[in-house]
């Protein structure tokens, strides 16, 4: 007579999570969503697909974010820091500045949007986003432009070079042939290199 040792059929076993589990899951979702958004677009990817990428069901999404729009805002906030690092970094000398731009205008960056700058990939979606998201992007862009302005001592050049970098990557991604892609990137690197070289002496006077 060992029946009393059997578990009650009404007992429910519960999985125990660590105190940091929710935050860790949120960070995993953010990291995965950043790559998915930059590679395939955010608007076209459903909540179920975003959650499936980290091994969870779509129903668990709303314990981390109130809406998909809130997730997009969080994605953009993190991506802006990544974009600023790619384009400017913290170095102030001309050689590091030029190296940053060359790295940005590389084939690796053009061919792997999931690890690159969000501005060429998500610009159109940002333009349709809430005013708060656009304001955050504007603030980041102005900060980046300000950093370039200090290095070049030219406000117009700072905006123009920033736009050239973002536009060149976008154009390099929409063409079909690798040859044309390489021409776009190489031409942009040469043009920007010459422009910075001409402007650099002005910032030292």
Taking residues 159-173, report their average pLDDT. 96
Q: How far apart are CA 184 and CA 110, in angstroms?
A: 11
Domain ranges across the chain: 69-204
Q: Compute the residue count for the chain.
A: 205
Which of 33-47, 72-86, 172-186 has the largest mean confidence?
A: 172-186
The pLDDT score that the predictor gives to residue 40 is 87
pTM of the model: 0.80
The proportion of the chain whose per-residue pLDDT surpasses 90, expressed as a percent, equals 57
The pLDDT score that the predictor gives to residue 22 is 83
Taking residues 121-137, report their average pLDDT. 94
pLDDT in tens, 58-88: 888 988 899 999 999 999 999 998 898 888 8
The pLDDT score that the predictor gives to residue 18 is 60
Q: Which whole-number Å values give the CA distances from 7 to 3, 13, 14, 71, 117, in the listed order?
A: 9, 11, 14, 42, 55
Burial of 108 (0-12, 13-18, 19+ CB in 10 A): exposed
Residue 189: how many other CB atoms lie within 10 Å: 19
pLDDT in tens, 41-59: 898 899 999 999 999 888 8
Q: In the CATH hierarchy, which top-level class contains the domain 69-204? A: mainly alpha
The pLDDT score that the predictor gives to residue 69 is 92
Provide the pLDDT confidence category of residue 10 given band limits of 50, 70 and 90: very low
Taking residues 27-40, report their average pLDDT. 91
Does pLDDT of 30 surpass 70? Answer: yes
Provide the pLDDT confidence category of residue 16 given band limits of 50, 70 and 90: low
């Amino acid at each position: 007579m060992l029946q009393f040792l059997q578990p009650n059929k009404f007992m429910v076993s519960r999985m125990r999570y660590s105190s940091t589990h929710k935050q860790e899951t949120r960070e995993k979702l953010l990291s995965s969503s950043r790559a998915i958004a930059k590679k395939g677009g955010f608007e076209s990817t459903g909540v179920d697909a975003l959650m499936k990428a980290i091994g969870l069901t779509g129903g668990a999404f709303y314990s981390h974010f109130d809406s998909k729009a809130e997730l997009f805002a969080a994605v953009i906030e993190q991506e802006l820091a990544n974009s600023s690092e790619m384009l400017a970094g913290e170095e102030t000398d001309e050689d590091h500045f030029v190296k940053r731009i060359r790295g940005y205008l590389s084939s690796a960056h053009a061919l792997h949007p999931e690890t690159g700058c969000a501005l060429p990939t998500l610009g159109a979606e940002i333009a349709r986003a809430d005013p708060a998201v656009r304001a955050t992007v504007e603030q980041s862009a102005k900060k980046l432009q300000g950093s370039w302005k200090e290095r070049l001592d030219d406000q117009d050049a700072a905006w123009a070079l920033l736009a050239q970098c973002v536009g060149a990557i976008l154009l390099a991604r929409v063409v079909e042939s690798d040859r044309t892609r390489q021409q776009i990137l190489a031409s942009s690197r040469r043009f920007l290199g010459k422009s910075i070289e001409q402007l650099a002496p002005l910032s030292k006077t």
